[in-house]
Amino acid sequence: MARHTVPDLIDQTDERPAAPRPLSLSLVLSLRPAQWTKNLFIFAALLFGERLLDFRSVLRATAAFAIFCVLSGVVYLVNDVLDREADRRHPIKMRRPIASGELPVRIAVAAAAILGGSALAAAFLVNGLFGILAASYLGLLMLYSVALKHVVIIDVLTIAIGFVLRTAAGAVAISVAISPWLYIMMILLALFLALTKRRHELVLLADRATGHRRILEEYSPYLLDQMIAVVTASTIVGYAFYTVSPDTIAKFQTDMLGLTLPFPLYGIFRYLYLVHRKEGGGSPAEMLLNDRPLLICVALWVAAVAIIIYGPHVTMFWGK
């Protein structure tokens, strides 16, 4: 497969200017619906809280997912407004509606305010604690967009905490408690994704990296590889401990969850393969949706976990 340098990519984008998109489409694209897959973390509590067969809980979890999709879209709008100058120097991000000028800044800011206020109002209707977590998520990611993304290590930790807040919000929405091990795994997995994204930016932009994102001058591919190695091992060990812990076995009345370990092992190794050999990692959501082996792995893992946890419930239901 042919590889192109950053100048090549920029030259290619200048050859045929795209026709202006409708304003409504530019707004929707700026909300980045492809990135909403990150909010699937909200359904972790539904799966591991044994509520997957409860229709009311499914509805509440779906509502929580929709609210966080809107909130994350608001964060993307604000982030793109603040980063529009830097994005114009990026070979891919320069095509974003705000960076390209297709979506005026005043409209983006107004939409962010309206959507953010509406989503927070809906969050408090679900329940008070869910509303507090939703507001905390929005506030934290806004702070990230303004300041924390410029602080080394804190930048990726903030992204990871955002995933933990999603997971906690999903549990609160359906009023279940989930194992602390799951929160540990969520923050480790989120760190893994954030670090590989930083690595992708460094490799893709090379000497232009610090011009696009100031914090990248604090990192190096070697440093990020070391961090990724630590987080990768910790994630796998954490998942293994969770599946065989006495509390997990007692809760689900089975010790079979340990058999699902090959799925996260393959998934992480496949992701690392795509990062190192296929120059992926820039968008975890797009990699998940576009890489068939990775998508199949995740689907099989969910199916295996569901069968192990809910198999006895289904058997008991049909036995009545």
Same domain, 75 and 124: yes
Same domain, 134 and 196: no
pLDDT at residue number 23: 84
- Tens-digit pLDDT string for the chain (320 aa): 444 444 444 444 444 445 667 888 888 888 888 888 889 999 999 999 989 989 999 999 999 999 999 999 999 999 999 888 877 877 777 888 888 888 899 999 999 999 999 999 999 999 999 999 999 999 999 999 888 988 999 999 999 999 999 999 999 999 998 888 888 988 999 999 889 888 888 877 665 545 556 788 888 889 999 999 999 999 999 999 999 999 999 989 899 999 999 999 999 999 999 888 877 666 777 787 788 999 999 999 999 999 999 886 555 444 44
pLDDT at residue number 16: 47
Same domain, 160 and 68: yes
Same domain, 38 and 172: yes
Same domain, 141 and 284: no
H-type alpha helices, 83-179: 84-87, 97-100, 105-126, 128-146, 154-173
pLDDT at residue number 213: 64
pLDDT at residue number 215: 80
Q: Give the three-state DSSP class for 101.
A: coil
Taking a C-beta distance cutoff of 8 angstroms, is the pair 283, 37 a contact? no
Domain final position from 148, 177, 206: 177
Same domain, 163 and 61: yes
Same domain, 171 and 188: no
Please give the Cα distance from 74 to 115 (Å, whole number): 7
pLDDT at residue number 119: 96
Taking CA atoms, 46 is separated from 51, 158, 263, 316, in Å, by 5, 24, 20, 20
pLDDT at residue number 6: 43
Same domain, 126 and 235: no
In-domain check, residue 298: yes
Same domain, 274 and 163: no
Taking a C-beta distance cutoff of 8 angstroms, is the pair 302, 47 a contact? yes
Q: Give the three-state DSSP class for 104.
A: coil
The domain total for the chain is 2
50: DSSP letter: T
Please give the Cα distance from 42 to 126 (Å, whole number): 14
In-domain check, residue 218: yes
pTM exceeds 0.85: no
Same domain, 35 and 100: yes
Residue 116 belongs to domain with CATH number? 1.10.357.140
Angle, in degrees to the nearest 10, between helices 154-173 and 128-146? 160
- Residue 61 tokens, joined: 């979890």
Taking CA atoms, 226 is separated from 121, 137, 155, 219, 221, in Å, by 42, 28, 17, 11, 9
Please give the Cα distance from 141 to 299 (Å, whole number): 29
Please give the Cα distance from 278 to 269 (Å, whole number): 13
Say if residue 317 is exposed, middle or buried (CB neighbours under 10 Å; 0-12, 13-18, 19+).
Answer: exposed
In-domain check, residue 319: no
Domain final position from 134, 157, 177: 177
pLDDT at residue number 249: 92
In-domain check, residue 10: no
Closest CA to 278 of 188, 167, 179, 196: 196
pLDDT at residue number 8: 46
In-domain check, residue 8: no
In-domain check, residue 9: no
Domain final position from 153, 177, 201: 177
pLDDT at residue number 314: 54
Same domain, 143 and 191: no
Taking a C-beta distance cutoff of 8 angstroms, is the pair 74, 138 a contact? yes
pLDDT at residue number 15: 43
> Residue 248: which domain range?
179-313
pLDDT at residue number 10: 40
Same domain, 160 and 200: no
